[in-house]
Amino acid sequence: MRRLTRDRILSIALITPSAVAILVFVYGFIGFTGFASLTHWDTLFPDYTFVGLRNYAKLFTIERFQLDLRNTVTFTVFFLLACLSVGFGLAVLIDQRIKGEGLFRSIFLFPMAISFVVTGVVWRWLLAPGTEQTGSYGVNLLFEQAGLGFLRNGWYTAPIIWHISSESTLGILLQSIGLGFLASPKFGISWPMVSVVIAATWQMSGYTMAMYLAGLRGIPDELREAARVDGATEFQIYRYIIVPLLTPITLSAVIILGHISLKIFDLVVAMTGSGPGFSTDVPAFYMFDTTFRGNHFAEGAGIAIIILLVVAVLIIPYLIYSARTEVQQ
Amino acid sequence: MTASRLPRPSRLFRPQRLLIYLILILTAAFFLLPVYVLLITGLKSFQEINLATMWAWPRNLSLASFAKAWNGSQAEGFRGLSGSFLNSVYLTVPATVISAMLGSINGYVLAKWRFRGADVLFPAMLFGMFIPYQSILIPLVQMLQRVGQITKPLSVALLALSVPPALAWFPPWLANFVPAYGTIGGLILVHVVYGIPITTLIFRNYYAAIPTELIEAAKIDGAGLLGIYRWVLFPLSMPGFVVVIIWQFTSIWNDFLFGLIVTSRPAVQPITVALNNLAGSYIVQWNVQMAGALLAALPTLLIYIVLGRFFMRGLLAGSLKG
Amino acid sequence: MSHSKRLLFLLFSVFTIGAIVLTACGGAATTAAPAATQAPAATQAPAAAKKLEIFSWWTAGGEADGLNAMFDIYKAANPGVEIINATVAGGAGTNAKAVLATRLTGGDPPDSFQLHAGLEVEKYSPDQYLQPLDDLYASEGLEKVFPKDLLSLLKYQGHYWGVPVNIHRANVLWYNKQIFADNNLKPPTTFDEFFTVAEALKAKGIVPLVLGTKEGWESGHTFETILIGTLGAEAYKGLWTGKTQWTDPGVTQALETYKKMLTYANTDHSALTWSEGAQYLVDGKGAMHIMGDWTDGWFTSKSYKGYGWAPVPGNAGIFDALSDSFALAKNPPHADEATAWLKVAGSKAGQEAFNPKKGSICARTDCDLSLFNDYLKSAAGDWQKDAIVPSVTHGAAAIESWATAYKDAMALFATSGDVAATQAALQQACVDAKTCK
């Protein structure tokens, strides 16, 4: 144990204000919200009657909330897949010693500078489908003019939910093993959400690219050269050397993108709202609506805590993992 | 930059390289699509706005939409973005600088002066950047109002300051920065607090990569905690600061939720809230909305264009690897 | 080291140049549009000056003009009071309500704020956060100038909580006169006629019924007019008091009608707000639009004159009403100024200044009709003789939690079309609100 010197006291004194601020503004406030979610606070004026987990029990019976959970899963999975693959692909291409590297990098990175509110406003117009009577708008119009009319679709206005039909073979099979509930739109994939994924990917894939590019540049050339000497193809080099070496980057990207997608709010509000039949509704939006439009503070706090728990399930293992690996180093 | 790397043999054959460029150019076009629409729509005259021709280049270039979005329109009864643009500057610049400084000091202590409990404190602080902010809004407002009660004498004293008439605008302007509910100062406080996790993370990882031998050597030379920071680490910190400044500037400028909840008076509202007011009211034509959106995005775009490559360099230096 | 210095210099110059440009722009803007940049003015006044803070979501257009006209009257009567016009737009008032909720619970209320007349007041915990206005009603004689139906709507727990400034009508069918003339059609008065007309228009490639459902309340709005048209005034009112059951076959029939109507609506309705839907009428691509009479103000702002209006089918003789009012916060920071404001809001002069601009009729019965346009004149006539029913979508008929459950059920119905499930959900909402058993 090191001695308590003047500098050690000073070091603790320097970090104390930040630590206290976080303690109050993060943990204190979360504690308050957690407490509120267990009460009967249903109008503007606080009513701290303790009701246990009743608000949570109620939430899971509400259809809108069930659909929100479905939408969040759809969004998170597609958004992560899209960002990681587009980001990685672009990073590999840019890493090929191309001309105009700086320009391409800037073009792919700049959407990150724009707020989700602006992104939502713009993509709402771009993906506005138009109708048979009015003709196509936006991207649909572009498809039409490029002779790709068959690609036209209703985007975020078409209430299509892909799900296992209860009449299909798979549906019947699921029913026979007691999982029949899976064959319903509540466990489907919401097509309107894909439009939101496109906008979000436009915004965040450049950042993913930047992270991967940083990772690629950190891999010593000798490694590739050695593999080449050993007769490995380019594909094999990526498959067996580079991708494994980039695992920490992928992990960081999953954490950063994952928590964005679980909390997504501004983009949905500005772009689609709840969508047809709540097909683009998300828990953060529902929480805002419940708390501030309906003044059901306890229920809103409950939704906030559920979002927080889901985020925590993703984040805490990661934080522990990073802390451990660092100690090993 | 690129030239110095050219002597290395290209890894792929020529047709493949053409394919690479083709993919990159197509992807770049996709990325630029929304900006193109923003720009041409903003440049169109009011008569030319039509969804069916939204991809067409404007026949006459007109800056009227931008002027209208900036100045507002008395006749149509909406407020322009100019005032809130300045508010956003007053908000973003100090909040960015303060949170960068705090993050730098925290990062330094956590990376180089590890104390008992630091292994718990650091992840505990990091967790703060992942929380959904909706969950802390209500207690936040109550806290800010309590802060306001404490700081009230300060703003009263500022307003009572006797200054020459030419400087009469100064005390009230300064009073806006006193932290309280509904002031720019209050919003700065919120952004600084919730910026601590990310800035601390970036700087701690950045400083962790700096060899401890450097610190030890300075200690042997008799430098203390502050001396080492001032003379050894701070001069090496520029890439870290660039990353943090870009990050914080962008997220504070683009923030909507805190700005909405903490500032209810239009006089102190930041630009995202004003843009929402512009786009959320059904009376404003969408070319004005597009022009407003572009104006609101301009400063952060500028930061990226000017500093983007330093940001990349910061990433390359490993400061964001987590 | 020289590298970092260069970078630092660059950063510094960016900020400096930015600041110079901004200051210049700011200066230019101040001279161009003084009203737009009154940013420092709010704090520039001496600390002792009288103030009044009014909170609303009327940020633009006729609504803002109307509010400003009322401010002018207030200023003339109360010189030296500085008005802080706190407005938050967007999300059909959701953003504003979020700000309001945090300010009321946080103990920093605006003096007076916008509130829908009716049971919406329940969610503001009026006994905790609002001041009853019974004394003001007595001193200003307001009970004599507002219609009885409105007064009963305003009374909650035996007190008045808001001063109504206007009346809007929700059940109006707007139509493009040109399209109807070209096709020899008349605005439908029954649902059967509606479907005949819609079929004819569809064959011509025109959107028969224009709908915009982006904000989530519009589907509920449309359905409430269909409920009225199917059940009639009394039975519709009974739905909110427990006299009519939600399991009633009439409700089933209304759902079936709405489901059929939706097949004649534009397919992109979830991309559009109500005003973007109304744009179809302006462009001559859509024929009919069921919406409240704020549409009239919007058409006027677009200088569009080719529209006609009629009651929604089956709604003749029934006025589906909503009203905006101003409430007084408990212990407002500027109590005297706020009371003076509410007097202006309830006065003849105040309402005559506000309503022609806002595009609504006066809550008072004694306004000068010559100030209003043709539509508003006709609405004022209907207001006098029609049966009045409260709108649920706009906060009059039910407490907020019930209204929200109703709106959510109808938003789902617009895509699911599941009549049985929706009727069960509507019944459940009534049970949850403790009105049905």
State whether residue C213 sits within 8 Å of chain A by CB.
Answer: yes
Contact B277 C87 (CB under 8 A): yes
Q: Rounded to an integer, what distance in angstroms lies between the CA atom of residue A70 and that of residue C346? A: 49
In this predicted structure, the answer to whether residue A3 has a pLDDT above a threshold of 70 is: no
Q: Rounded to an integer, what distance in angstroms lies between the CA atom of residue B223 and that of residue A208? A: 40
Same domain for B218 and B192: yes
Residues 237-276 of C with CB under 8 A from A: 266-271
Q: Rounded to an integer, what distance in angstroms lies between the CA atom of residue B279 and that of residue B282? A: 7
For the record, the structure tokens of C347 come out as 């006065």
Element (H, E) at B78: strand B78-79
Residue A4 belongs to a domain: no
Q: What is the pLDDT of residues B79-101, one digit of tens each?
A: 789 999 999 999 999 999 999 99
Q: What is the pLDDT of residues C246-296, one digit of tens each?
A: 999 999 999 999 999 999 999 999 888 888 899 899 989 999 999 999 999
Contact (CB, 8 A) for A37 and B140 = no
Residue A5 belongs to a domain: no
The residue with greater pLDDT, C19 or C148, is: C148
* pLDDT for res A133: 80
Residue A6 belongs to a domain: no
* Winning range, highest mean pLDDT, from A163-172, B164-173, C132-141: C132-141
Instruction: Note down the domain range covering A140.
Output: 13-328
Residue A194 belongs to a domain: yes
Distance from CA of C127 to the nearest CA of B (A): 20
Q: Rounded to an integer, what distance in angstroms lies between the CA atom of residue A10 and that of residue A1? A: 17
C-alpha radius of gyration, chain B, whole number: 24
The residue with greater pLDDT, B78 or A307, is: A307
> DSSP 3-state assignment of C237?
helix
Same domain for B281 and B146: yes
CA-nearest of A151, A148, A119, A123 to A138 is A123
Tell me the domain boundaries of chain C.
45-167+323-390, 169-321+391-432
In this predicted structure, the answer to whether residue C19 has a pLDDT above a threshold of 50 is: no
Provide, as residue numbers in chain A, all residues whose Cβ is less than 8 Å from the Cβ of B24: 90, 93-94, 98, 104
Same domain for B157 and B300: yes
Same domain for B216 and B97: yes
Contact B83 C39 (CB under 8 A): yes
> Which residues does residue C324 pair with via DSSP β-bridges, in sequence order?
C116
Same domain for B261 and B206: yes
* Winning range, highest mean pLDDT, from A104-113, A213-222, B87-96, B118-127: B87-96
If one looks up domain C169-321+391-432 in CATH, what number appears?
A: 3.40.190.10
Confidence band of B282 (pLDDT split at 50, 70, 90): low
For the record, the structure tokens of B215 come out as 């610190």
Tell me the pairing of strands C207-210 and C307-311: unpaired
- For C361, phi then psi, to 5°, come to -95, 160
Q: Does C169-321+391-432 match C45-167+323-390 at the fold level?
A: yes
Burial A119-150 (b: 16+ CB within 10 A, else e): bbbbbbbbbbbbbebbebbbbbbbbbeeeeee
For the CA atoms of B200, B203, B205, B206, the dihedral, rounded to the nearest 10 degrees, stands at 180
Tell me the one-letter amino acid at A275: G
* pLDDT for res C238: 96
The residue with greater pLDDT, C209 or B176, is: C209
Alpha carbon distances (Å) from B153 to C50, C64, C333: 20, 35, 18
- For C288, phi then psi, to 5°, come to -130, 150
Task: Kindly identify which residue of chain A lies nearest to residue B301, measuring between CA atoms.
Answer: A113
Residue B57 belongs to a domain: yes
Contact (CB, 8 A) for B174 and B78 = no
In this predicted structure, the answer to whether residue C36 has a pLDDT above a threshold of 70 is: no
Q: What is the DSSP letter of C230?
A: H
* Winning range, highest mean pLDDT, from A312-321, B248-257, C219-228: C219-228
Count how many domains chain A has: 1
- For C63, what's the count of Cα atoms within 13 Å in the CB-facing half-sphere? 21
CATH 3.40.50.1820 for domain C45-167+323-390: no
Q: Residue A196 sits in a domain of what CATH number?
A: 1.10.3720.10
**Residue to substitute from B97, B167, B238, interface C, most C β-carbons within 10 A:** B238
Q: Rounded to an integer, what distance in angstroms lies between the CA atom of residue C416 and that of residue C258? A: 12
* pLDDT for res B280: 65
- For C313, phi then psi, to 5°, come to -45, 135
Alpha carbon distances (Å) from B94 to B237, B238, B252, C387, C413: 19, 18, 11, 59, 49
For the CA atoms of C187, A131, C418, C310, the dihedral, rounded to the nearest 10 degrees, stands at -20
C-alpha radius of gyration, chain C, whole number: 24
Summary mean pLDDT of chain B:
84
* pLDDT for res B1: 38
For the record, the structure tokens of A168 come out as 């299909």
Residues 6+ positions from A53 with CB-CB distance below 8 Å: A38
Residue B135 belongs to a domain: yes
Q: Rounded to an integer, what distance in angstroms lies between the CA atom of residue A35 and that of residue A48? A: 9
* pLDDT for res B321: 44
CB pairs < 8 Å spanning B and C: 167
CA-nearest of A277, A216, A295, A221 to A249 is A216
CA-nearest of B212, A319, A262, B80 to C39 is B80
* pLDDT for res B197: 93
Confidence band of B27 (pLDDT split at 50, 70, 90): very high
For the record, the structure tokens of A267 come out as 């983009």
> DSSP 3-state assignment of C389?
strand
Instruction: Give the torsion sign (CA, A103, A104, A109, A113).
Output: positive
Domain boundary among B29, B62, B95: B62
State whether residue A158 sits within 8 Å of chain B by CB.
Answer: no
The residue with greater pLDDT, C254 or B263, is: C254
Confidence band of A161 (pLDDT split at 50, 70, 90): confident
Any idea which residue has 């020899």 for tokens? C184
Subunits that touch chain C (at least 3 Cβ pairs < 8 angstroms)?
Answer: A, B
Any idea which residue has 């905690």 for tokens? B225
Contact (CB, 8 A) for A253 and A134 = no
Confidence band of B174 (pLDDT split at 50, 70, 90): confident
Any idea which residue has 């987990």 for tokens? A53
Tell me the one-letter amino acid at C418: D
In this predicted structure, the answer to whether residue C156 has a pLDDT above a threshold of 90 is: yes
Q: What is the DSSP letter of C330?
A: S
Q: Is C209 left (phi over 0), alpha (psi -120 to 50) or beta?
A: beta
Contact (CB, 8 A) for A200 and A267 = yes
Q: What is the DSSP letter of B35?
A: H
- Average pLDDT on C124-149 reads 93
| Least confident piece of the model among A107-116, A142-151, B255-264, C87-96 | C87-96
Angle, CA C369 vertex, CA C368 and CA C374 arms, to 5°: 160
Any idea which residue has 């001309």 for tokens? A99
**Residue to substitute from C259, C330, C402, C415, interface A, most A β-carbons within 10 A:** C415
Contact C60 B138 (CB under 8 A): no
State whether residue A100 sits within 8 Å of chain C by CB.
Answer: no
Q: What is the pLDDT of residues B215-258, one digit of tens each?
A: 888 888 888 888 899 988 999 898 889 889 988 999 999 998 89
Residue C79 has a CB neighbour count (10 Å cut-off) of: 7
Residues 84-123 of B with CB under 8 A from A: 102, 105-106, 109-110, 113, 115, 119, 121-123
Same domain for B114 and B239: yes
Whether the predicted interface score ipTM is above 0.95 = no
CA-nearest of A52, A80, A73 to A282 is A73
Q: What is the pLDDT of residues A52-94, one digit of tens each?
A: 999 999 999 998 999 999 999 999 999 999 999 999 999 999 9
Summary mean pLDDT of chain A:
89
Same domain for B113 and B33: no
Residues 6+ positions from B287 with CB-CB distance below 8 Å: B41, B42, B44, B46, B49, B65
- Average pLDDT on A106-116 reads 89
Count how many domains chain B has: 2
In this predicted structure, the answer to whether residue C347 has a pLDDT above a threshold of 80 is: yes
Confidence band of C90 (pLDDT split at 50, 70, 90): low
Any idea which residue has 């000091």 for tokens? B105
| Least confident piece of the model among A23-27, B102-106, C121-125 | C121-125
Instruction: Note down the domain range covering B159.
Output: 79-316
Alpha carbon distances (Å) from C395 to C102, C121, C407: 20, 8, 11
How far is Cα of residue A169 from the mean position of the Cα atoms in its chain? 33
* pLDDT for res C400: 86
Nearest to C37 among B83, B273, B277 (CB): B83
In this predicted structure, the answer to whether residue B184 has a pLDDT above a threshold of 50 is: yes
Q: Residue B312 sits in a domain of what CATH number?
A: 1.10.3720.10
> DSSP 3-state assignment of C96?
helix
Q: What is the pLDDT of residues C297-315, one digit of tens each?
A: 888 878 899 999 999 999 9
Contact C44 B172 (CB under 8 A): yes
For the record, the structure tokens of C351 come out as 């309402």
Contact C29 B303 (CB under 8 A): no
State whether residue A313 sits within 8 Å of chain B by CB.
Answer: no
Task: Kindly identify which residue of chain C lies nearest to residue B262, measuring between CA atoms.
Answer: C99
Same domain for B226 and B89: yes
Q: What is the DSSP letter of B61?
A: -
Q: What is the pLDDT of residues A232-253, one digit of tens each?
A: 888 899 999 999 999 988 988 9
Q: Rounded to an integer, what distance in angstroms lies between the CA atom of residue A123 and that of residue A138? A: 9
For the record, the structure tokens of B44 come out as 């169109």
Q: What is the pLDDT of residues B101-140, one digit of tens each?
A: 999 999 999 998 888 888 889 889 988 988 888 878 878 8
Contact (CB, 8 A) for C407 and C224 = no
Subunits that touch chain A (at least 3 Cβ pairs < 8 angstroms)?
Answer: B, C
Q: Rounded to an integer, what distance in angstroms lies between the CA atom of residue B290 and that of residue B278? A: 10
Q: Rounded to an integer, what distance in angstroms lies between the CA atom of residue B16 and that of residue C390? A: 69
Q: What is the pLDDT of residues A277-316, one digit of tens each?
A: 899 999 999 998 888 777 888 999 999 999 999 999 988 8
Q: Rounded to an integer, what distance in angstroms lies between the CA atom of residue C216 and that of residue C414? A: 10
Same domain for B147 and B21: no
Tell me the one-letter amino acid at A185: P
DSSP-H helix ranges across chain A = 6-22, 29-36, 54-59, 63-94, 101-109, 116-126, 138-145, 169-176, 191-217, 221-229, 234-237, 243-245, 247-263, 266-271, 283-288, 297-328
Contact C400 A295 (CB under 8 A): yes
Residues 6+ positions from C150 with CB-CB distance below 8 Å: C117, C164, C167, C321, C323, C363, C388
Burial B251-276 (b: 16+ CB within 10 A, else e): bbbbbbbbbbbbbbbbbbbbbbbbbb
Same domain for B244 and B196: yes
State whether residue B83 sits within 8 Å of chain C by CB.
Answer: yes
Same domain for B187 and B146: yes
Element (H, E) at C279: helix C274-282
Alpha carbon distances (Å) from B233 to B37, B101, B102, B203, B229: 45, 13, 14, 11, 5
Alpha carbon distances (Å) from C185 to A64, B150, C278, C311: 41, 69, 20, 16
Burial of C220 (0-12, 13-18, 19+ CB in 10 A): buried
In this predicted structure, the answer to whether residue C47 has a pLDDT above a threshold of 60 is: no
* pLDDT for res B320: 47
